[in-house]
Each structure stands twice: as C-alpha cells, then as structure tokens.
Amino acid sequence: MPIKVSAPKSVLLVCLGNICRSPTAEEVLRQKAAVEGMSLTVDSAGTGDWHIGKHPDDRAIAHAKAYGYAISKLVARQVQPDDFYQFDLILAMDKQNLQDLQAIKDRLINENPEQSETLAKLVLFSEEDPIHAGEDVPDPYYGGDEAFERCIAHIESGANAWIESWKSC
Ligand code: 4NP
C-alpha cells in the first residue's frame, strides 16, 4: 500500500553489506533527484559490518556503470544510531533490513521517548513502487549476472517512484 512521505531533504539507503544494493540505490537516487533539480542529500550504509571501508562489489560497479551510474568510489559503512537523527528518511532495501533498522529505532525511542518524532522515518525502499510494491530488492550477492541485472532494474523503478511521489509534495 503506497504511503505518503513528504519530500525529504536527506535520505539514507540501507542494505546488508553496503556493497551491492544500497550504494547502487544511493547513486541512482542522487542522479534522478539532480535531474529534477531537487536538493537532496543521499547516503547509504549496511546493517552488517563485514565490508566497512570497502568499495562496492566489482559486479555491482560494472552493472551500475552499464546504466550510467558511477559507484566505484563509494565506501561502505555500517548504519549508526546517529543516522536516525541525521536523516529525514531511511529506506530499507529488504524486510530483514527494515526489521533490523526498526530494532535500532525502537531502542532509541525507549531510551528517549520525547525525541521519537525527530527520528528518521523508516520505510521499505519498494513501498511507493507500483511495479514492486512491498517487495524486497533481492540480494544479488550470491547470484550471477541476472541477479545484478534484476537488482538495478528494481532499484531504478523504486527510485523513479520516490521521485514522482516527492514531486507532488
Ligand atoms: P548488499 O549485498 O546487502 O546488497 O550489499 C550483500 C553483500 C555482502 C553480503 C551479503 C549481501 N555478505 O554476506 O557478505
């Protein structure tokens, strides 16, 4: 079910490793926002810590490049509690990421209930996408070329849907 999220000033894209889906989505959203003249700060992070400091996966870099997105210089980092204070909106690439992020957010609310309204809104990346509404962006890490191809098509579709929804805000 599409939800109304008012146009944010800053968005954080989050997946598991921050080397395949979320860095790709970061650059796709950044470019699409720029084309529309939207002022949007975009970043990405992973819920896991295995790839901190690394550049994106070579396969993700190659597929993104084929679609016109340069992601080779991005550097992986792990999501931090402070991200919930720094960003307006956090988009989770799949439902497991969403659950892990919700656990962080719940903890922050428990620690500081009066600040709950100031924390980033947390939503599934595909929530606004009429083609993939409510679906995960499938993790391509253990897949082949096809998985990466599906991944970037899915990300473009989701990013287009967010941009369209923000244009009408
Ligand atoms: P991502 O893909 O979450 O789209 O960056 C993955 C990258 C690495 C691993 C899993 C998923 N890993 O298990 O190392």
Beta-carbon contacts of residue 112 (< 8 Å; ≥ 6 apart) = none
Give the pLDDT mean for 11-40: 98
Confidence at residue 169, expressed as pLDDT on a 0 to 100 scale:
74
Residue 4 included in any domain: no
pLDDT tens-digit readout, 47-69: 999 999 999 999 999 999 999 99
User: Whole domain around residue 39: which residue ranges?
Assistant: 10-167
Residue 33 included in any domain: yes
Question: Ligand 1: which atom is nearest the Cα of residue 18?
Answer: 5
Q: Which two tokens stand for residue 22?
A: 């979320």
Nearest CA to ligand 1 atom 10: 17
| Annotation says 21 is catalytic | yes
Helix, strand, or coil (residue 61): helix
Residue 59 Cβ inside 6 Å of ligand 1? The answer reads no
Residue 127 included in any domain: yes
Helix, strand, or coil (residue 168): coil
| Annotation says 136 is catalytic | no
Residue 151 included in any domain: yes
Residue 28 Cβ inside 6 Å of ligand 1? The answer reads no
Amino acid (1-letter code) at residue 46? G
Please report, for the domain that includes residue 115, its CATH number: 3.40.50.2300
pTM score above 0.95: yes
The mean predicted confidence, pLDDT, of the chain is 95
Model confidence band, residue 3 (pLDDT cutoffs 50, 70, 90)? low
Our count of domains for the chain comes to 1
CA pair distance 103, 101, nearest whole angstrom: 5
DSSP per position, 65-117: HHTT---TT----B--TTHHHH-SEEEESSHHHHHHHHHHHHHHHHH-GGGGG
